[in-house]
């Protein structure tokens, strides 16, 4: 069968992760890359043997030799590129958040349906094997009814006032920083694991560092280099956020996120308390699921292709005890997507288990509600 | 010097912890115990060689041979006993929460001042050695300015609908259950470690189990025995609560507490993020303080009589590596209290480093604000 | 009933732990203390309200008002004091190692039997609640047959060449340092948990720091103070030791101990692998027992007065989640001893579950075999 | 530049890991696979789009279109294939142990030198980023002089007597099972991290399960399927081993390995104690290095492309906090190898930092000495 040909737009940090994990997918070739910074795109292409380089996203999208677009650009261009790609008849795997707001993401969902595009959003954390296991246990009833949940997503890459990112600029990032960037991941985890919808939120957005030094060059995310030439700018977007949540069955939750938490790197925690048992997962030790019980010892369940629920075993591809990492989580999502895409192209039935644009829109609605709640100081219902 | 003579009221679980740790305090004798359940009091007295037993708190308080009252009764009687004890000229060490509401606690603070009673409230968690160390580091500036904080206090002893406690009965517990019982401890930790006041809160109180089986006999807290004869009762108080908090310097925090979290026992966590470093402490591994940094490895600081800040070394009384436990935390608080009391009785100057009724009132004000906030769905200022 | 009157000899670090935990035992009074350093003994007595102070062990032992001797002196005097105490008709609770060698300890066992002395050795680590639970699980067959085991006991208080202790001086400590001091504790844990005897060993003793600065004053153990006046001495005793072990059922084990392991404080680990499941316990997190399984998730069993094997519940005296510490382990041993002693004095039957002089002799035999094995470079049978 | 063309022999578990990680290496193509089980090889080739399949290793080696051989067959064929491949002018990346004994491995080293073959052995655990960091810290003197070390490598895949593997058959595995299979990895870690040679050992090999059910079909390693048709066989090779070790500077170490340790999966631990600080690494949480200190808090150093020693930063390719896994460790080794190979082919200078056949021979010598020591019950010098 002919290879599926990918065009990737945005060769920054996360674009490079996409490119590297795409190499692991059998039957897929990266045919072209594009980046506003053509030099960056060119160097990625050379290193990875990618035949074509575009400086312009539209040119890449127009290339008839491309089947699938990977959208790895900053937030404010997500909508335009995703829409253009679908209109050009491509299938699309996009970074999150899917768009700047729920109006945009809703439009993308409709567009994808209209054009029968197979879409995905890279909510990769749900693809750690034991996160899949937790969701499977909820589905088969082990947890009982979910009663309460809590967690956080903490980082420190914006700790110094000399740290700067486009994510702090409303013109690029949208109405929120950390609640959108990290909160959307966490809300996806909650809804994926519990199988329930977040229906109402109360949020607090706060800017711990209201002034920062913005480098004149413009740094990449996660860069720790201190800029030599910089200007003083006022920061209005959140670097700390908190959110109470209510699920559609009445369960209550609480979430905290922060990007100035010295020593916390990609520290995600989710605890879910049910009527029969509890689950806890931490990205700091992502290979084990904690299972809490009242009447006997708690369990530490390690990812396992042998012991996990059957439908999740393929995500734990190594013999138990060989830890899977972040790369493997991204790969697991990509593999699900491309298996479905191969089936679609072959005219075969397939199950789309991965997060798609509809999922991306769901998270967008939660973020919009959070922003609105923080503005009004009131509980706010999540739209659809 | 003559021994200080203690009378303890309430010989349930926490009363027994008091009695056992009082034995470790040199120069202190327990002269009498009282409990509404005289049999319970009698058996404690016999086991521990305590000379007098009263069935009635007032009789014990009236005993001129008693110098200090330990108030270990349920919440709704705290005020009356604390007040009566002070009026009788006793010094008082009370369990928390200090009273049913801030009006009552305020009255107790005034009364104690008027009568020069030396008071304490058993906020024992701050007496783990590394919690003291965290506070000392904040005081000397290591943390920098506190920017954000978060944490939880989780238990599972109310997990089943057959679990019942007087803490779920508004007539005994007051306007709230878990936010008062566990939240007051956590707020004390935050304010003690940061050295700052909580000035505004937004809270959510929720009842995960709105119906329970209430045993006809009336169980003690923490009892896991399933009652044989019980009645169905509606529960109105919270078994889950969440609270956003603002400190007097503008720092933001978030707290979750729950007593139906299967597998979580006395799972307290506090994370504080400052402008220079971060601290995290968990009661599950209470002997180590996590110190987070952006530019080098994080630190795990183990309690140590040699390496801690000088004024906190006495709380780490064993050679480093011999873990202190809950008993030792209670003992540390008692020792501070009785050292001050001995000084007071000897007419010597002393430093009251332990939480006193003023501290208890501060926590009461936070809880009152939380209850009000949950009622109105609005941010609420903390009174004084 | 009259109180049991204790006389304690040796008021250094471990003597003070004894005194403090003795205060928690109902029905027991410390009537006298003795120490070669009379000032030290006097200050302890004054602080704790102990009526008599002797500078001389023999005088204390001769005191007819004393019922029980606590022997907390350095190793080389253990034998003499224990023997003298038994001969004087006292019951004895001794620190470990019981004597300098198995010949001495054997004599003490015989003497105790002859005089019907109730004896104990302070192998306190087995008195953490979940260590008791592990042993109970082995007894009832949960582990199956023990197949293999391993572990270590690491410290760093001899890390610098300016650290010195009488434990490094053969005239005081005997033929070995770390293998006797820490190894005897670990071997007791193994034999207690597995219920089996160590029958053969192969050992390696090594001196990592062959020269040290010995303070002219003579420091206490665990003191981190650097001496101001010191002399250069050659060290012949071990500060690192390793030992292969064989149990009486053929199970194999391996143990490492070291006192120059920077950052390790009282880091004890024991892992036992059986034909049905595995147990692991670490003194760094002493409240949980790890239970390993092949075919399902591993378990983290937290100390619990409700969930542990019935005969061990009394050692987990606090509601689950309130961590017990080192003090509580020592207290648990003392309580078992004094309950038995009270029964003995009352002429009632009792079960001596605590380690006694026979246990102390068993550990002495293992240490003697280890020293012999290290000398010859050969596997060596453990005598009886 | 032309791609480097790989031929891989042995498409079992570890062969598939090689194939998947080879896909991530730019400039490398897998041109052919071979396996005695042609069906297995064929299915791997089809799944991964590999053009050629051989049932016979020699045919693949003879293929002039192949540049590099990956040798992933069982132990007893390692020597023959490695030798044949070198003689055919190929470069070779082999699985460990390099051969059945040091005589064979010595011959391979000589052969590789003679033919200028670029060789590697897949000691992948040293390629976790923080293991590289530990070695770098030793090189730059942070540790001081290494004094002592210890650790283990525990698994449970041979826990049941119905578990069987060719590794238990001396005709296939050689003179030892677990000490060769897992011990060689651990000895490589020790020598890599400390930069020192193991010069003398004392070993104990033991067979916990002397009888097993051998499936008539012949299972793969790590398979947990219970065979339906099986025969009773006597097992002579070790499933438990212990080893004392001496380094060339006199440092002492101790190691335990076991494959019947229920609940332990790929549980590798290494602790190294130096004259200035200590390091500990566990494969259960492979992303953090513990750094122990006597005079201040211990450090938990998380893998980081920013904070690690410069020459090791490339192994921590993701932003700090995105955990690397086992796949990434294998990839890191492969990347080092293929970078060197590309340089060699281009006639450029290169540094061979990866473990090569000389390294494989060094580990072989330790294993041979361990087997000899266990046979004689004596300390045994490690040959060269």
**Mutation for testing the B interface, residue in C220, C310, C319, C329 having most B CBs under 10 Å:** C319
Contacts with A24 from chain D: Cβ below 8 Å: 20, 23-24
- D291–B297: do the CB atoms touch at under 8 Å? yes
- Asked if the C-beta of B367 comes within 8 angstroms of chain A's C-beta atoms, the answer is no
- Interface chains of chain C (3 or more CB pairs under 8 Å): A, B, D
Shortest Cα distance from D304 to chain B (angstroms)? Answer: 10
Average pLDDT over residues B216-230: 57
Point out the residue among A295, A300, A307 whose CB comes nearest to the CB of C300: A300
Mind listing the pLDDT tens digit for each residue in B178-204? Answer: 999 999 999 999 999 999 999 999 999
Residue A224 pLDDT class (50, 70, 90 cuts): very low
- Interface confidence (ipTM) of the complex: 0.95
- D148–C260: do the CB atoms touch at under 8 Å? yes
- A307–C300: do the CB atoms touch at under 8 Å? no
- B307–D295: do the CB atoms touch at under 8 Å? yes
- Asked if the C-beta of C306 comes within 8 angstroms of chain B's C-beta atoms, the answer is yes
- Interface chains of chain A (3 or more CB pairs under 8 Å): B, C, D
Nearest CA in chain B to C286: B323
Give, in degrees to the nearest 5, the angle at Cα B85 between B79 and B89. Answer: 140
The two tokens of residue B365 are 């004000």
DSSP H or E stretch at residue D172: helix D170-173
Note which residues in 235-294 of chain A have CB less than 8 A from chain C: 289, 291
Distance CA D69, CA D92 (A): 5
Q: 3-state SS of chain C: helix, strand, coil percent to 5?
A: 35, 25, 40
Nearest CA in chain A to B244: A242
Q: What is the dihedral of CA D342, D344, D349, D354, to 10 degrees?
A: 70
- Asked if the C-beta of A148 comes within 8 angstroms of chain B's C-beta atoms, the answer is yes
For position C224, what pLDDT does the model report?
43
- A321–D266: do the CB atoms touch at under 8 Å? yes
SS3 D73: coil
The two tokens of residue D375 are 């046979």
Shortest Cα distance from D33 to chain B (angstroms)? Answer: 44
- Is residue D310 classed exposed, middle or buried when 0-12, 13-18 and 19+ CB atoms within 10 A define those classes? exposed
Residues in chain C where the model's pLDDT stays below 50: 219-225
For position B55, what pLDDT does the model report?
86
For position C351, what pLDDT does the model report?
85
Shortest Cα distance from C278 to chain D (angstroms)? Answer: 6
Residue corresponding to tokens 């007097």: B248
For position B241, what pLDDT does the model report?
98
- C297–A295: do the CB atoms touch at under 8 Å? no
- Asked if the C-beta of C307 comes within 8 angstroms of chain A's C-beta atoms, the answer is yes
- Asked if the C-beta of C208 comes within 8 angstroms of chain D's C-beta atoms, the answer is yes
The two tokens of residue A134 are 């937790």
Point out the residue among D23, D157, D323 whose CB comes nearest to the CB of A24: D23
Nearest CA in chain C to D271: C261
Point out the residue among C204, C209, C378 whose CB comes nearest to the CB of D252: C204
C250 torsion bin: left (phi>0), alpha (psi -120 to 50), beta (else): left
For position A108, what pLDDT does the model report?
98
The two tokens of residue B136 are 């000392």
Residues in chain D where the model's pLDDT stays below 50: 219-225
> In this structure, are residues B144 and B273 in contact, taking their beta carbons and an 8 Å threshold?
no
Give the rounded distance of the alpha carbon of A41 from its chain centre.
Answer: 22
For position D228, what pLDDT does the model report?
64
CA distances from B114 to A175, B85, B89, B102, B120 (A): 54, 13, 11, 18, 16
| Strand partners of residue C150 | C254, C271
The two tokens of residue A206 are 């706060």
| Length of chain C in terms of residues written | 384
Phi, psi of C375 (to 5 degrees): -70, -40
Point out the residue among A263, A273, A378 whose CB comes nearest to the CB of B298: A263
The two tokens of residue A25 are 């997918």
Residue corresponding to tokens 């609105």: A372
- C373 prior amide bond cis, ω within 30: no
Distance CA C240, CA C154 (A): 9
Beta carbon pairs, A and D, within 8 Å: 86
Contacts of A40 by beta carbon, 8 Å cutoff, 6+ apart: A11, A12
- B273–A258: do the CB atoms touch at under 8 Å? yes
Nearest CA in chain A to D320: A265
For position A289, what pLDDT does the model report?
98
**Mutation for testing the A interface, residue in C297, C302, C303 having most A CBs under 10 Å:** C297
Average pLDDT over residues A267-282: 98
Dihedral sign, CA of B76, B77, B78, B83?
positive
Quote the strand ranges of B114-165, DSSP E. Answer: 119-121, 146-154
- Asked if the C-beta of D307 comes within 8 angstroms of chain B's C-beta atoms, the answer is yes
Point out the residue among D289, D296, D307 whose CB comes nearest to the CB of B296: D307
Shortest Cα distance from A301 to chain C (angstroms)? Answer: 4
- Asked if the C-beta of A224 comes within 8 angstroms of chain D's C-beta atoms, the answer is yes
Nearest CA in chain D to C253: D242
Distance CA D64, CA B286 (A): 64
Residue corresponding to tokens 């003090």: C327
- A297–C302: do the CB atoms touch at under 8 Å? yes
Mind listing the pLDDT tens digit for each residue in B236-286? Answer: 999 999 999 999 999 999 999 999 999 999 999 999 999 999 999 999 999
Mind listing the pLDDT tens digit for each residue in B152-177? Answer: 999 999 999 999 999 999 999 999 99
Q: pTM for the whole thing?
A: 0.96
Shortest Cα distance from D299 to chain C (angstroms)? Answer: 9
Q: Which of D14, D19, D11 lies closest to D36, judged by CA?
A: D11
- Asked if the C-beta of C204 comes within 8 angstroms of chain D's C-beta atoms, the answer is yes
For position D356, what pLDDT does the model report?
98
Contacts with A208 from chain B: Cβ below 8 Å: 147-148, 251-252
Residue A222 pLDDT class (50, 70, 90 cuts): very low
């Amino acid at each position: 069968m002919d290879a599926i040909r990918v065009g990737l737009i945005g060769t920054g940090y996360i674009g490079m992760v996409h490119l590297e994990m795409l190499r692991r997918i059998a039957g897929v070739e990266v045919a072209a890359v594009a980046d506003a910074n053509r030099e960056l795109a060119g160097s990625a292409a050379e290193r990875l043997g990618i035949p074509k380089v575009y400086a312009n996203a539209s040119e890449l999208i127009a290339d008839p030799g491309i089947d699938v677009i990977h959208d790895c650009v900053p937030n404010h261009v997500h909508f335009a590129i995703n829409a253009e790609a679908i209109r050009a008849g491509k299938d699309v795997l996009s970074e999150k958040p899917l768009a700047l707001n729920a109006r945009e993401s809703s439009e993308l969902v409709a567009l994808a349906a209209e054009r029968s595009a197979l879409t995905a959003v890279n909510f990769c954390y749900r693809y750690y094997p034991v996160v899949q296991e937790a969701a499977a246990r909820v589905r088969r009833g082990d947890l009982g009814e979910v009663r309460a949940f809590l967690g956080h997503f903490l980082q420190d890459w914006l700790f110094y006032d000399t740290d700067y990112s486009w994510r702090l600029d409303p013109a690029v990032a949208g109405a929120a920083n950390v609640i959108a960037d990290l909160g959307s991941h966490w809300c996806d985890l909650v809804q994926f694991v519990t199988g329930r919808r977040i229906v109402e939120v109360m949020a607090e957005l706060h800017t711990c560092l209201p002034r920062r030094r913005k480098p004149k060059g413009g740094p990449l995310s996660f860069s720790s280099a201190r800029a030599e030439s910089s200007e003083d700018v006022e920061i209005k977007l959140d670097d700390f956020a908190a959110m109470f949540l209510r699920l559609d069955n009445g369960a209550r939750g609480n979430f905290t996120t922060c990007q100035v938490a010295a020593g916390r790197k990609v520290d995600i925690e989710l605890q879910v308390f049910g009527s029969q048992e509890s689950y806890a997962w931490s990205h700091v030790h992502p290979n084990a699921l904690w299972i809490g019980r009242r009447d006997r010892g708690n369990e530490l369940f390690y990812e396992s292709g042998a012991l996990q629920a059957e439908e999740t075993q393929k995500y734990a591809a190594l013999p138990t005890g060989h830890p899977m990492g972040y790369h493997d989580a991204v790969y697991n999502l990509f593999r699900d997507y491309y298996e479905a895409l191969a089936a679609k192209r072959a005219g075969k039935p397939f199950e789309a288990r991965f997060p798609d644009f509809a999922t991306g829109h769901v998270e967008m609605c939660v973020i919009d509600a959070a922003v609105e709640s923080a503005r009004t100081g009131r509980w706010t219902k999540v739209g659809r």
